[in-house]
Structure 1
């Protein structure tokens, strides 16, 4: 029987880690999402388009909710809209009567709703006719745009659970290169199957999306694989403590940092920066790009996930070399892990 004092000392560490995760989870979500407010939501305007510039200046005079981003011509502004660099384009109507606000609600329904609201009020006050056109509409079966976030979140959670589970089954540190390759291959297979399941659910299962499901499957596999590799790499170096770190990075900071249904411009400064590199945020951006936007727009989030993958593989192999190396013992050679 374990002595009472020893049992208490053994249990303190896990309970402390659980306390850190729980308090961190509450703090992160409450601070990031308790009162999301738009701040510098980008709207494109063509330089020299005085009516559009004047209207956005009037909106800016009422607060920092919207930010005008100037482009040299209408084609450049449209490309920025398709790349999700901006959420809308305000321009003088081609007929010369009033203004046209072209939005891309698929990039963020919350953002385009805010833009439309502020610009509509400003146009009414100025007595300027305004037409609103949604050039890249969000799917009517997902009017609030929550599916990209929840799909990405499921792929991330499923991915890192796969990495943790394999580490528990095989040991946290692969002993040699063939075993490391086998582990990476197993995680890749897990990611492929997980992405297939997610694609089938949001596609024919729930009947939400029908377009570019092959691209969605590839994007999902990359995201799940990245999360699984990251979990394996962290656990290889930190073992059980690594599980806590994974949850802190991916869940406690990553989930509110991704914004959920809110774009990054609705988050406090610290969390707004996290969105650009956290796995749920990158995953949401990647899913939206693949499903709604032209080919090539997914390159930036996919490239960042590739950096995560490469870094995780390097860390995993580094742990193999440092912690999994053979060491001399009185009874002969044995593994350090």
Structure 2
């Protein structure tokens, strides 16, 4: 049937159809979309900043050691006497224990089991310590244990049996060696999806492995060039590579699972809590009780302890560090593979249902 409507009527109908509300133009939905696009970024960014400040102020506004282990050569009664003569501080600042002889005391310091050894010998005290723990720890030990000896009328000879590298006067080389690839691993985990969203999982995992190996070798080369750590080149490279892989694989999983929120979650876990509890500037014994456990489970803390042990303390913390970091890598990669498999099944199911619903 021919169209007999005047052109003016047809034009009015077309205009009405164009301006008529559509199902997706519901005002409530537009408001909700605007709130998500404007308010959510503000809320997330402010929350991340508030968490950052809260964690760092809690950790470092007034750090006080808790249960800092110290060895005393002698009987349990002599160790208790040293504990009683310690200056008035929080009662759990030091954990004093007795050891049999000076050789056992020296070994405990060298293996990182204690922070200092108090060896009374007549009218004098020999105080063994490890300068590799950093100047803040050294100052605390010399002041407090020196006062104990002076109170007992004894002179003090302090001996640094594990000094920090001459190229690391502030004792920060271990932290920067480890943390450099924590930041890089976080960025890699985000950029691998931003720059190459369509890459297959196999190629993505090859890129992850290449990043870890290349990053570990690069960091070890820089550390070796500066002579900042008395540690074997490939040992440093291997540990740093494991830290990088642990952070990047976990970040990849969080980003893939949660999208933009995943990158925020990774920033909080690795860059904020991980950094604050790493033990890079002060040992974990100086952290508040609610933060200290993170030092032994997050990649940054276990990496710092492993690199420090490799450089100075006869491998203390290396085995446990490798174990924890490997678990992080396995969890990140395993989570990615399971997530991709689940999403692949969901896509295939959707395609099958769509094909079944079509009419010939």
For 1:327, the equivalent position in structure 2 comes to 349
Q: Secondary structure at the match of 1:127?
A: coil
Over 3 Å counting, the alpha-carbon distance change for 1:51 and 1:296 in structure 2 is: closer
Q: Secondary structure at the match of 1:324?
A: helix
Distance in 2, Cα, partners of 1:72 & 1:181: 56
On the 8 A contact 1:44/1:90 being kept in 2, the answer is yes
Distance in 1, Cα, partners of 2:120 & 2:44: 57
For 2:108, the equivalent position in structure 1 comes to 80
For 2:188, the equivalent position in structure 1 comes to 162
Is the aligned partner of 1:239 residue 2:259? yes
For 2:49, the equivalent position in structure 1 comes to 22
Over 3 Å counting, the alpha-carbon distance change for 1:314 and 1:54 in structure 2 is: same
Is the aligned partner of 1:116 residue 2:138? no
Match of 1:190 among 202, 205, 211: 211
Q: Secondary structure at the match of 1:251?
A: helix
For 1:275, the equivalent position in structure 2 comes to 295
For 1:44, the equivalent position in structure 2 comes to 71
Match of 2:272 among 248, 252, 256: 252
Distance in 2, Cα, partners of 1:72 & 1:180: 57
**For 1:155-214, what per-residue CA distance to the aligned partner results, in whole angstroms no more than 9, with x for missing partners?**
111012112211223449x8xxxx43432221121122222222222221x342354122
For 1:141, the equivalent position in structure 2 comes to 167
On the 8 A contact 1:49/1:92 being kept in 2, the answer is no
Question: How large is the Cα RMSD of the aligned pairs?
Answer: 2.7
On the 8 A contact 1:41/1:111 being kept in 2, the answer is no
Distance in 1, Cα, partners of 2:289 & 2:191: 35
| TM-score (norm. length: structure 1) | 0.86
On the 8 A contact 1:103/1:132 being kept in 2, the answer is yes
Match of 1:129 among 141, 149, 155: 155
**For 1:279-322, what per-residue CA distance to the aligned partner results, in whole angstroms no more than 9, with x for missing partners?**
22122112211222224641122222122122222212221222
Q: Secondary structure at the match of 1:258?
A: coil
On the 8 A contact 2:131/2:160 being kept in 1, the answer is yes
Distance in 1, Cα, partners of 2:169 & 2:250: 33
Distance in 2, Cα, partners of 1:263 & 1:328: 53
**For 1:210-249, what per-residue CA distance to the aligned partner results, in whole angstroms no more than 9, with x for missing partners?**
5412211111111111111111122222122111110111
Match of 1:201 among 222, 232, 254: 222
On the 8 A contact 2:253/2:333 being kept in 1, the answer is yes
Q: Which structure has the larger Rg over C-alpha atoms?
A: 2
Q: Secondary structure at the match of 2:118?
A: strand
On the 8 A contact 2:73/2:120 being kept in 1, the answer is no
Following TM superposition, by how much is the alpha carbon of 1:151 offset from its aligned partner in structure 2, in angstroms? 2.1
| TM-score (norm. length: structure 2) | 0.81
Distance in 2, Cα, partners of 1:248 & 1:47: 46
